[in-house]
Amino acid sequence: MYLYGGYSGSERLADMFSYDFDTNHWSQIDCSSGDAPSGRSSLVAQVYENSVYVFGGYNGNSVLNDFYRFRLKPIGVPPPALVNDFQRLINNSELADVRFVVEGKDVYAHKAILAIRSEYFRVMLCGGMRESTMMMIDDGTSPEKQDSNRPIDLPDVAHPVFLKVLEFLYTDSVCDTSLEMSLHLLIASEQFMLDRLKAICEDLIRRDISTETVVSILVASHRHHASGLKEIAFEFILRHLNDPHVMSCLSDLKAEPELLLEIIRRSNLATTASAPDGAGSGAQDLPVAPFGSNADWTARR
C-alpha cells in the first residue's frame, strides 16, 4: 500500500510511504528526484503496474489540476516463490525418486531433499538402513531398476502425520495443525530426529494448554523428552491443582508415577514457601502472566 501527501494540521505534505502487508512494516520512499509534485491533500492516487499516478488535490491555496507519475522500481522483481515451489513437490509422483508406503498408501518424495534436511533420512536412503527398510519385490526387472522401484515401508507413523513431516522438510514450517496433530508431530519429530520441528510443536502445544489437556501434554512431553514443554505443563498444573478437570485427570498418571511424585514434591515446596513462617526467607505471592500468551513472563524472587 502506498500513501502520498496529506495534511499535518499545519502544512500539506509531499512525502510517500509504503506498507508491506507480509512484514507489517512501514518505510519511506525517496521520491525527491525529478519534477516532484508539490505538497497536497485531497488528491487522487492509483497504483498501476510499476508506477504510482497522482492527480490533482489541494495545496492550501487552490485546487490543483496536475498529473504525475512516479515509477516505483527501475526493475520489478517478482516476489520469492521458492517455498511455494517446494510445497508443490510434496507427494508429487511425477518428479519423485523415492516412494514410501504409509498405512497402505503411497507417498512420494525426493531423496536429495530428504537426505540434506534430515540425518535420519540420509542414513535411511544412503546408508545401511536402506536395505532393511525396502519391501522385497520380484517383478523380473534388473536389480538396479528393481531397487529404485522398491517402496519403503514406514509402519510407525500415520499417513496425515507423515505428510506434515514432509511439509516441514520441504518448507521448514507447518501450517494448520490442531493440538492432536501437534502432539503426533512431536512424536514423529523425535523419531525422525528433527529438532526444529520438535521445538515448533512444543510452542504450538503450549498455546493450546488447558485444564482439560495439560495432563496428557505432560505425559507426552515426558515420554518424548520435550523438556521445555514439560516444565510449562508442571507449572500450569501447580497453578490449577484445585481445578476439578486437573484433579480428575491426575489419575491418568498411574502409568507415570514419577510425574505424580514430582507434582506432589513441587506442591509441597510451594506450600512451604508460602507458609507464614516462611516470611523471613523472602517468600511472597508473585504475579504471573497467563499461559498461552506470546510472552510467558513469570516474576522471580
Tens digit of pLDDT at every position of the chain (301 positions):
899 999 999 999 999 998 988 888 898 988 878 888 999 999 999 988 888 999 999 999 999 999 999 988 766 677 788 999 999 999 999 989 999 999 999 999 999 999 999 999 999 998 755 544 444 444 454 444 445 568 999 998 999 999 999 999 999 999 989 999 999 999 899 899 999 999 999 999 888 889 888 888 888 888 888 888 888 988 999 888 888 888 888 887 888 888 888 888 888 887 777 666 545 444 444 444 444 444 444 444 3
pLDDT at position 148 is: 52
Query: Where are the domains positioned within the chain?
Result: 2-71
Q: What is the maximum alpha-carbon separation in the chain?
A: 90
pLDDT at position 226 is: 85
* Owner of C-alpha cell 507464614: 276
Residue 22, all three cell numbers: 507480509
The count of other CB atoms within 10 Å of the CB of residue 212 is 12
Residue 271: is it exposed, middle or buried by C-beta count within 10 angstroms (0-12/13-18/19+)? exposed
40/57 Cα distance (integer angstroms)? 6
**Computed from CA positions of residues 63, 67, 72, 76, in that sequence, does the dihedral angle turn out positive or negative?**
positive
171/83 Cα distance (integer angstroms)? 6
pLDDT at position 23 is: 81
pLDDT at position 181 is: 93
